[in-house]
């Protein structure tokens, strides 16, 4: 039962709620992209907060005090879900 709720909550970072912690679940993209994000400290499992977001535009996320701008294209490839442990 729980699993279904989890998956309906899955959405791209580009559509994530502002100001609430979300957990990165999956990165849909090639090796280069996953690796690039990993070097910024963004792995599946990392919790981030969306600070700013424009509809269909780029996103600013906060990861433990570091602010990262994620471009429009990438924000669509990072899938997140609300993080219950932190809220």
Partner 1 sequence: MKPIPKGKSQRLRVLRVAIAGTPNSGKTTLFNTLTGTHQETGNWPGVTVEKKEGVFTVQDYRVQVVDLPGVYGLSAYTTDEQIARDYLLHEHPDAVIVVVDATNLTQGLLLVLQILQLRVPTIVALNMMDQAEQEGLEINIAELERFLGVPVVPIVAVKGRGIRQLKERLLETVGRVPPEPRIPVDPRFEEAQRRLVRLLQESPLAREVPLAWLAQRLLVEDPWALALVQKDPLYPQIRRVLNETLPQLRHHLGADLEVYLVEQAYALLHGLVQRVVRRRATLRKRLVFTQKVDRVLLSPWFGLPLFAVVMALTFEATFQLSAPLVDLIAHGFDLLAQLLRDLLAGTPVPAWLTSLLLDGVLSGVASVLTFVPPIFLLFGFIAFFENTGYMARVAFVMDRFMHALGISGKSFIPMVLGFGCNVPAIMATRTLESEKDRLITILVIPLMSCSARLPVYVLFASVFFPGREPLVVLSLYFLGIALALILIKVLQRVMFHQREPESFVMELPPYRMPYLRNILLYMWMRGRVFVKNAGTIILVASVVLWALASLPPGVEYAGPRSVLGWIGRMLAPLLKPAGFGFAEAAIALLTGVMAKELVVGTLGTLLAGGSVEGLQHALGQYFTPLSAYAFLVMTLIYVPCIATVAVIKQETGSWKWAAVEVAMTFSLGYFLAVLVYQVGRLVL
DSSP letters along 16-80, please?
A: PPTTSEEEEEEE-S-HHHHHHHHHTT--TT-EEEEEEE-TTS-EEEEETTEEEEE-HHHHTTEEE
Interface characters, 8-37, with partner 1 (x: CB under 8 A): -----------------------xx-xxxx
Residue 40 sits in the site that holds partner 1 (CB under 8 A): yes
Candidates 1-9, 17-25, 68-76, 79-87; binding stretch for partner 1 (CB under 8 A): 68-76
Residue with tokens 């989890």: 6
Q: Which residues form the interface with partner 1 (CB under 8 A)?
A: 31-32, 34-43, 51-52, 54, 56-58, 60, 65-74
């Amino acid at each position: 039962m729980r699993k279904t709720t989890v998956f309906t909550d899955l959405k791209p970072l580009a559509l994530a709620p502002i100001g609430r912690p979300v957990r990165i679940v999956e990165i849909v993209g090639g090796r280069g992209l996953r690796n690039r994000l990993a070097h910024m400290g963004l792995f599946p499992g990392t919790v981030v907060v969306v600070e700013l977001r424009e509809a269909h535009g780029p996103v600013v996320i906060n990861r433990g005090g570091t602010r990262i701008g994620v471009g429009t294209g990438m924000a669509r490839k990072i899938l997140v879900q609300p993080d219950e442990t932190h809220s």
